[in-house]
Structure formats: structure tokens, C-alpha cells
Amino acid sequence: MKYSDEKLSKKTINIGAHRSVRVTVKYSCRVSSAQQLWDKWELQCMVLASFTLQAFFLFAAGIRRRSKSTVLRVLLWLAYLSADYVAVFVLGHLTRKMDDQLVLLWAPVLLLHLGGQDTITAFSMEDNELWKRHLLGLLTQVAMAVYVVAKSWRSSNLVAPVALMFVSGTVKYGERTWALKTASSDTIKDSRMSDLYKEWWWRVFRSDFYAEKWWPKEEYADLVQAAGESFHNCMNALMDIPVTRRLRPGVQSWTEEIQRFRLTAINAAGGREEVDTFPSRAYKLVEIQLSLMYDHLYTKVGLRYAAQAVGLGLPLLTLATPSSALALFAAARKKHSSAVDVAVSYVLLAGAVALEVLAILAVMGSFRSYYFLRNKLGARGRWLTAAVFWLVRSLRPYDQPLWSNKWGQNNLLAGCIKEKQAGVFTRAMRRVDFSTSVVTWHLVTDMCFFLGREPDSRRHMALAREVSSYLMDLVMERRVLSSSEGHVKHLKAREEVKQILAQHEGARVDTADADAMRKMLEAGVRRISSNTSMQFRMNVRPVLPNAWRLAQLLVQQDGDVETGGDGGGAPWKMITSVWIEMLFHLATRCDAGFHAKNLSTGGEFITHVRLLLHNRGIGWNFIGD
């Protein structure tokens, strides 16, 4: 019995071993088949993937100027990094297919892909500073493409299409490098300090310049014209470039023209604020100005008009060469080439032509193109100018925002409550830095909301709280200022709020319940004020009690009619004025890199405020001031 059991066990083991071997063999065969299939079509798939990335750039890259979508930003970032790697990878592996003459054609097409699309040259401002690295890449990849073609040379059948695509690919790649250099900070500062000053000097003393009355009236086209005229000024403001004192007459004329138009708009509205269209048009002007700057910093549009004779001629060259190459390729003999490779080649060539056509239409539909044609052609080219403006208006309707129209919010009390649920006035502000003032007034604003009665003006209350949370987001989360004292106050206030919330463990706290929040804060502030040992240990004066007393003083004075209060609850007009003043103060002191960087992420409201002030003659940086 024992012997039979051992024999049966051996048979079972043998059977299991055979089954394991068969499974392993089948798995190995499948892996081998998949590997062979991939080896056979690897280059074709990678070349088509490179073309797909270029098409994605053309259609999706322009959306980021008016969107803060994290998904879109991540996809563009991955595509931006992958596009060059894929093209270089395929270019290096083309040497494996020396027997196919179509390799001659794919190599220069990949150079075209390395040149990128007109809608995106840099993902961020830092990419513009790496233009020398791209110049080195241009030299090495062109040399690699020449090597691939030279090694694969068998006949003269495809010489003409290959030569044309080489011209197109090299020019396209050179355009990208040139565009990056044009948008680099050093190049911008050098150009602003030399050639643009000469142009301004000529404009300021031209007798008929300000007599033309080009400031916007009613037409969308006049807004574009005004934005184009002020482009160089706005670039100076955005990049913190000082302006020579000789340009003061031009600045004064600029602001006086705006003021005259403002008075005209008020008179036309009969003093009624609801029908005054000046503010909306002023914001639209800033949107167009920022759109022009985005084009200059992140696309090839700035390159087109930096050197007009060359920049405007190159798109025609990069369109004509692939079109001719496509026609010559269609007429060439392709009997010995794979049908799949021929189809892929047609897709690449036809796709290159289509992308160039769409890119040219996108450039023609830009604000810069309309401004250029209107100035250069004048009345002689009014039909062409009108056609271009029709394209501009179709691509960018007047009512469509040119930026994300969103601003970040950071509410200290709400943030601490969210964490819990998840797991007079001159003296008060004296000798504190700006970030400390932001923290203190942010707390005062929320406390006035919880202490006060229903205000007469909901609009001022909502505006004050939104601007308060927005400045907290800028100063405390994104650190647009380098002050340390304010951040210490911010951390201290958070700890104090968490101490208050810890006393209400298990209870749900809602910021919408003003009465409950008022009682909770009042009890918590009293507890913090009496805890002198905690204050000594932290070596920082408590933040909440000071803000609480200031908020109570505001509410009491507003409710006291004898002291000038109107009894309407918290004095939201005064609080709103404080926040608007802080917004203006911060707008002119943000680092230039912050404004330029955020143009590619949907834009920032404070950048619009910066240009609004600049258009009114506020915040100009004159040399020698």
C-alpha cells in the first residue's frame, strides 16, 4: 500500500510537471510572438505616436492660457517631455532599417516634429532660458538625421522629397530654438532697453501719434489696436524693466488719453454706474495685452514679428516644402516598399501639410497679426485687414474670456475646520510688515462676518471676503513675498484656531452658522488670552485675541450712530477699501517671474490689476526715480 502511494505520488508530480512545462511553453510562445510583432511594427508605431503628439500640441496647447485644469496641465507636461524623447528615440533606431528606402523620408520628418508647433515653444519660463541646450540639440539631431540618410542611401528615387523635408525640418527646429532665445529674459531686457526705447522716443515726439485718437471707442478692433500699441510698455511692466525718464511725456499722454475717455464714458452714461461700459472695456484691454504677452513668451507668434521679413516668410517655406515633398512622393516609385510603410509615410507628409496650414491660420487669427496689418497696410489693405479681424473675432469672440477667470482662495478658519472634519486701525497696523497685515485683516474680516448683523451691502461683504482669501492664497500659500514675520503669524493663528477646535471634539462645526462660530471664537479667544504660560512658551503674542478686539471695535463703532456708524452691521465698505488698497500694493510688488509664469497656467487676477494700474500711469519704474 505504501509502495502504490509513492508510485501514485510520482505520477501526480510528473503530470503536474508536464502541465507546468506546457503552460510555460505556451506563455513563452505568446511573449515571443508579441515581441516579434512589436519588433516588426515598433518604428511605425513610434513615428505615428510622434505625429499624434504634435497634433495634440496644436489643438490643446492654446487652451492652457485660459484654463487652470490640473489634468490638462499634467497632460501637456507629459506630452512636452515625451515629444522630444520619442522623436530622438525613433531617429536613433532608424539605423536598424537600412534595407528600406523610406527611412530616408522619416528622418527629416522627425526633425520637423522636433521643431514643435507654433502654439507652444516653452512649457514654462525656465524652458526659454535653456535655448542653448536646444541649439546643441539642433546640431546633434540634424547630424544624426544626415547620418541615417547617408547610411540608407541606395537610389535617387526619393532624393527630392527627402531634401525638401530636410529643409523644412531644419528650419522648423531652428525656429523653435530662435523663439526660445527671443523669449528668454536676457533677450527681452536687452531689446527693451535698446531698440524699443528708440521706437518709443520716435512715437512720443511724433506730432500726429496721439492726435489719431486710437484709444478704444466701441469697436473690438480698436481695443486690439490699443493693446498692440501698448505691448512694449506692458512687457516692461511685466518684466520689471525700468523706463528711461525721457519717456515721461509719453506716459503722461497715455494716462491723459485714458482719463479723457473715462470722463466721456461717464458723461455718456449720464452718471449711471450700471450703464458705464468703461470698466468692462478696460478689463478686456488688459486681457488682450496679456494674451499678446503670452504669445510672445510661450509661442512662435512673437518670433514672427520680432524679425518680420524672416519670421513671416518662414511659415510659407515650411508649408511649401512638405506640400512639394508630398506631391513628389506620390509620383515616386514605391514597388519595393511595404504597403504599411507607404501608408505611414503618406500620413506623416499629409499630416505635416495639414498641421502647417492650421498653424498659419492660428497665427493669422492672432491679435498681433491684425495689429501688424492695420499699421502696415492702413486704408490700402482694409479688405485684408477686415478679413483677418473676422478670423480673430471667430477664434476669440469678444465675450469669451482670454484667461481662466479664477482666483485662488485660502480661508484660515475654514481650512482649519476642514482639517478637523477630516481627522484704532492705524495703531493696529503700525510697525508690521505687509504679510502680517494680510493675516490680521483676514482674521478681522471673518470675525466681522460672524460678529456683525446682516449688512446693507452684500456686495461689499462678498468682495471683501473673496479678496481676503485671494491675498491669503498669494501671500501664505504661494509665497509671492519673502517676509518671514507674516508666515510666523499665520502658523501661530492656525495653532490657535486648532486649539479652539480641539475643545469641540466630536461636534460638527460649520462656518455658515455665524452664531455658533461667534460663540466658539469668543470662548476660545478668552481661553487663549488667559493662558499666559502658553504665550510665554511660544514666545509669540497671540494673534486671535488682537484680531478679535479689532473686529469688535469695528462692529461697535459701526453700530454706534453717534460715532458715525450707520447701524448696518460690520463696516464692509471700509473693510473692502482696506483690501483693495492691499491688492494694489501687492500687484506692484510681485516678482516679475510670478506674473510671466502664471500666463501659462490660466493667468492671475493680480496680473490684470498690475496692468490696470500701469495703464492708469501707476507703478511705472523710471530710471533714476
User: Which amino acid makes up residue 5?
Assistant: D
Residue 622: which H helix or E strand, with range?
A: none
Query: For the CA atoms of 61, 65, 71, 75, what is the dihedral angle to 10 degrees?
Result: 20
- Domain membership flag for residue 306: no
Q: In terms of domains, do 243 and 333 share one?
A: no
Whether residue 613 is contained in a domain is answered as no
User: Which residue type occupies 175?
Assistant: E
How far lies 381's CA from each of 208, 209, 229, 384, 418, in Å? 21, 20, 19, 5, 60
Number of domains in the chain: 3
- CA neighbours closer than 13 Å in the CB half-sphere of residue 43: 20
How far apart, in Å, are the Cα atoms of 239 and each of 95, 128, 183, 592, 604?
46, 14, 11, 5, 15
Specify if 374 maps to a domain: yes
- Flag whether 611 is in a domain: no
Which amino acid is it at 213? Answer: K
What are 50's three cell numbers?
510622434
> Dihedral (C-alpha) 95, 98, 104, 108: value to the nearest 10 degrees?
-10
| 241 and 174 in a common domain | no
7 with 151, same domain: the answer is: yes
Entry pTM: 0.80
Backbone angles phi, psi at 612, to 5 degrees: -60, -45
Q: What helix, strand, coil percent values describe the chain, rounded to 5?
A: 75, 0, 25
> Which of 294, 266, 160, 284 is closest to 222 using CA atoms?
284
Q: Which residues of 305-340 are buried (b: 16+ CB within 10 A; e: fewer)?
A: bbeeeebeebbeebbebbbbbbebbeeeebeebeee
For the chain, how many residues are written? 625
226 in the same domain as 102 = no
In a domain, 62, yes or no: yes
Identify the domain containing residue 385 by its residue range.
187-299+365-395
CB 425 within 8 A of CB 491: no
The verdict on 581 and 448 lying in the same domain is yes
Q: Which residue has the cell 504669445?
A: 295
Is the separation of the CB atoms in 438 and 479 below 8 Å?
Answer: no
Asked if residue 608 belongs to a domain, the reply is no
On whether both 562 and 506 belong to a single domain, the answer is yes
DSSP strand E in 163-205: where?
Answer: none
Specify the pLDDT at position 205. Answer: 46
SS (H, E, C) 22-90: HHHHHHHHHHHHHHHHHHHHHHHHHHHHHHHHHHHHHHHHHHHHHCCCHHHHHHHHHHHHHHHHHHHHH
Q: For residues 558 and 8, what is the distance between their CA atoms, to the nearest angstrom? A: 98
Longest dimension (CA), the chain: 120
What is the C-alpha separation between 530 and 327, in angstroms, rounded?
87
Please, what sign has the CA dihedral across residues 4, 6, 10, 16? positive
The predicted pLDDT at position 308 comes to 75
DSSP string, 291-309: HHHHHHHHSSHHHHHHSHH
Amino acid identity, residue 162?
V
pLDDT number for residue 251: 57
431-436-442 Cα angle (round to 5): 130
Question: Which residues of the chain, if any, have pLDDT below 70?
Answer: 1-34, 37-39, 97-100, 155-156, 192-219, 242-278, 407-432, 452-457, 482-486, 499-542, 557-570, 620-625
Instruction: Give me the amino acid identity at 469.
Output: S
The answer to whether residues 519 and 421 belong to one domain is yes
- Indicate if 330 and 459 belong to the same structural domain: no
Q: Which of 346, 365, 320 has the alpha carbon at shortest distance from 119?
A: 365
Nearest to 586 by CA among 451, 476, 424: 476
Whether residues 353 and 374 share a domain: the answer is no
622 beta partners: 243
Task: Name, in order, each residue with C-beta under 8 angstroms of 344's C-beta and a sequence gap of 6 or more.
Answer: 44, 47, 48, 102
236 shares a domain with 89: no
Q: How far is it, in rounded angstroms, from Cα 150 to Cα 167?
A: 16
* HEC string for 569-585: CCCHHHHHHHHHHHHHH
Q: CA-CA distance, 68 to 602, in Å (whole number)? A: 5
**Per-residue pLDDT, 235:** 82
Look up residue 474 and give its DSSP letter.
I
Nine-digit cell at 561?
Answer: 450712530
**Contact assessment for residue 165 and residue 322, using Cβ atoms and an 8 Å cutoff:** yes
Q: At what angle do helices 572-587 and 434-451 cross, to 10 degrees?
A: 160
Domain match, 350 and 369 both: no
User: What does the alpha-carbon distance between residue 249 and residue 366 come to, in Å, rounded to a whole number?
Assistant: 31
Residue 607 included in any domain = no
Please identify which residue in the block is written with the cell numbers 456708524.
565
**Per the domain annotation, does 584 fall within a domain?**
yes
**Kindly report the CA angle at 130 between 79 and 84, in degrees rounded to 5?**
30
Full 3-state SS string of 137-173: HHHHHHHHHHHHHHHHCCCCCCHHHHHHHHHHHHHHH
251's grid cell: 506716459
Q: Which of 94, 131, 137 is nearest to 114 (CA)?
A: 137
pLDDT at residue 113, rounded to an integer: 94
Please report the pLDDT score of residue 85 as a whole number.
Answer: 92
Cell of 338: 511595404
Q: At what angle do helices 131-152 and 70-93 cross, to 10 degrees?
A: 40
Give yes or no: residues 521 and 577 share one domain: yes
Residues contacting 214, CB < 8 A, separation 6+:
222, 225, 226, 229
